[in-house]
Amino acid sequence: MGKVIAITGKGGTGKTTVAALAVRVLAERGAGAVLAVDADPNSNLDAALGVKAAESVGGIREEALDKVTSLPGGMTRAEFLEYRLQECLVETDRFDLLVMGRPEGPGCYCYANSILRTCVDKLSGSYAYMVMDCEAGLEHISRRTTKDLDLLVILSDPSMRGLETAFRVMDLVKELRNKVGETRLLINRLNDSIPPAMEAAAQARGVKIWGTIPNDEEIMRLDAEGRALIEVSEGSAVLKVVRELLESF
């Protein structure tokens, strides 16, 4: 498997924006194929990347469970899930996208989830980079949808509540079986210096704040117009920070 980068944090902290720009930066390197994974049920990574995902892994799982006795062509459920997973993949010249979709509902999903984890791991092995846009609970990582992480990016907004969420994510990371190479905490939408209270809280927890991401009017305009954030201009302040963030990856 290539390098795996996961981006998480409290809702509304800009995870999808950073994930989309990370996909762009890695794709522009030309160092290998890039797989974007939308692992947040409330995220819209496909729109940020300027593509449309018609299906999700969650939908495939539901479909497989509904077809217990009517799988096509004599397929086993494992064969059906792997086949449909390939169909679910959105392929472009710059990157591919896989949308995980909503979490499971009532009932037992253990067998289907186990197969899907195996399929996703097999699929991701074909890429030089995988960028995951995650929810704050790291659901897909904690359930080992993917294995080890080379870089975990945790975003906070300029608030103590956002920072506390970031701390909880860091605590969760310690409980995972997954290995995490590097963890970097950034404060998003902050044009000034880091507030002293936030600095003090981070120091008290022994946490280093890696950097900040300023407000970017172009990003806000693209978002307001419903346009793909990946197409932001080279002068974008957010794009510059993401390039610096991924310099060693």
pLDDT at 111: 56
pLDDT at 2: 85
Rounded to two decimals, what is the model's pTM?
0.89
Helix and strand numbers (H, E) in the chain are 10, 8
pLDDT at 69: 59
pLDDT at 70: 66
Inter-axis angle of helices 77-88 and 110-124, to 10 degrees? 50
Low-confidence ranges of the chain (pLDDT < 50): 109
- Angle, alpha carbons 236-8-85 (nearest 5°): 100
Please state which CATH number belongs to domain 3-239. Answer: 3.40.50.300
pLDDT at 62: 78
All structural domains of the chain with their residue ranges: 3-239
